[in-house]
Chain A
Amino acid sequence: MARKKQHNKDKEEATPASTSAAAASASAPTEEGGEAQPTAAVVAPEEPQPPPPEPHPPVEVAYCGVCTFPLEYCEFGSSLTRCKDWLKEADSDLFDKYYSEEALQAKIGTLSLEAQTKLEKDTAKKEAKAEAKADAAHKKKMASQITIKRIERTKRKFVTSIHGLEAFSIDLKKAAKQFASRFATGASVTKNPQGQDEIVVQGDVSDEIVEMIEGGVGVLKGIPADNIELVEEKKKAGGAGAGGS
């Protein structure tokens, strides 16, 4: 009996190993093809058959880290100065290619001089505008309040609602999940009567949440402590009276 078992086990061990090896050899070429490696290396192992038609390798496009456009289109974006600085840092060869004197000359060659100056003026204007916009957005963000509300459910039970996190570009779902696992209670994203999203956490955890936000735990980053507001909301007198003893 034991011998048989041993035999079976051996067999089992043998098969997965061989299949996985086969799978590895089969998958390797496709992976390499996807990464646009030199194609010669890919064809080599299967020379006896006629080589299958090769997929075209994709063109590698360098994108700007600031405005996400392909590098040559940075000049039409709204952050040319920052794009230029970024590219100078990241890759000075490419910087020379796009912003050297000759490159600029070549570009101007196809346009009349006044059109060129007009374009430059427009770009500068656009840039200033975008900057002002970003500034205003930042100011607004810094001024927006986060309200943490303790709401009475029944006499001794509370829920805590947090409102205004999205202004700091925090993913509400992720934040709710974080609260739920931190306090081991339910936490959900709900719409309040005004139609805005807020997080509702079961139980009275308002003080802990303030601490978490101040400490910048997990996804709760970049919130100034001054913007947090603690509010308590009592149930209406009639409802509380009926529930009480």
Chain B
Amino acid sequence: MFKKFVPSTDIAGQTPVKTSVQRSIRASVLSQWKIEPETLEVIWPKKETLIHVKCREHISIYTVHGEPIAFQHFDGPVYPTLRILHKYPYILPKVQIDRGAIRFLLAGAPMMCPGLTSRGGYLPPPDAALPAGAPVAIHAEGKEHAVGIGITKLGTEEIRKVNKGVGVETATYLGDDLWAVKAL
């Protein structure tokens, strides 16, 4: 999503968000992320207005004080930015890839099933299985912090069963152009 993203040409406009819309965004964030209202309050205080940065191809980035905190594609799920995820790693369910796949993830490739099911990989256990289309934090074998954020293309149980093809689509990853943007 952010492999090629040039702020000067790809941003169409910035507008402050209406409070009523802010309320609905806050509600959807609280329902989609595993985050307490108090913690969200620290990231995004109620008093601060959210700025909606419209980008090409229906991508919206939400910023507080110019710092991107979340982004969204069209009406899809709201993803936190990687910097926020590093600070609060528990807000998204975790999947892990093996060490061999890190290189490809850092080049922006989607994550294939075998990299998730191999010995270095990790998928949530069957009783916490994720459906397709869930935002996940992509961790890496032997590393402490998340390396990317993605969306599951198959349910986690399906990934185990099929074990072929794309399992997790990458939304943002370490070193992409959204990572390079520290303030908008």
Contacts and interface: CB of A to CB of B under 8 A. Distances in A.
Given A56-B36, A119-B103, A122-B103, A110 B179 contact: no
B155 interface: no
Contacts of B38: 52-56
Contact of A73 (B41, B87, B174): B174
B33 interface: no
Nearest to A78: B175
A188 to B, nearest CB: 17
Interface stretch (B21-29, B138-146, B156-164): B138-146
Contacts of A68: 175, 179-180
B67 to A, nearest CB: 13
Interface in A109-139: 110-111, 115, 119, 122
Contact of B42 (A34, A53, A122): A34
B2 interface: no
B99 A110 contact: yes
Contacts of A67: 175
Interface residues of A, number: 25
Interface residues of B, number: 28
Contact of A69 (B36, B144, B175): B175
A61 B87 contact: yes
Interface string A47-86: 0000011111011010000011110110011000000000
Contacts of A54: 38
A110 B120 contact: yes
Contacts of A110: 98-99, 119-120, 141-142
Contacts of B103: 76, 119, 122
B9 interface: no
B139 to A, nearest CB: 11
A107 interface: yes
A107 B42 contact: no
A29 interface: no
Contacts of A106: 142
A68 B145 CA distance: 14
Contacts, number: 63
B143 A73 contact: yes
B88 A59 contact: yes
B86 interface: yes
Contact of B143 (A52, A72, A115): A72
Given A55-B42, A61-B145, A76 B87 contact: no
Interface string B49-87: 000000000000000000000000000000000000011
Interface string A91-119: 00000000000000011001100010001
A111 B9 CA distance: 42
A115 B174 CA distance: 23
B89 A59 contact: yes
A99 to B, nearest CB: 14
B142 A56 contact: no
B100 interface: yes
B147 interface: yes
A195 B41 CA distance: 44
Contacts of B142: 106-107, 110
A59 B36 CA distance: 15
A54 B41 CA distance: 11
8 contacts: A55-B41, A58-B87, A61-B87, A68-B180, A70-B86, A73-B145, A73-B147, A76-B106
Given A61-B145, A73-B174, A110-B142, 19 more contacts: A33-B42, A55-B36, A56-B39, A56-B88, A58-B42, A59-B87, A59-B89, A67-B175, A68-B179, A69-B174, A72-B144, A73-B145, A73-B147, A76-B103, A77-B175, A110-B99, A110-B141, A111-B99, A111-B100
Interface of B: 36, 38-39, 41-42, 86-90, 98-100, 102-103, 106, 119-120, 141-145, 147, 174-175, 179-180
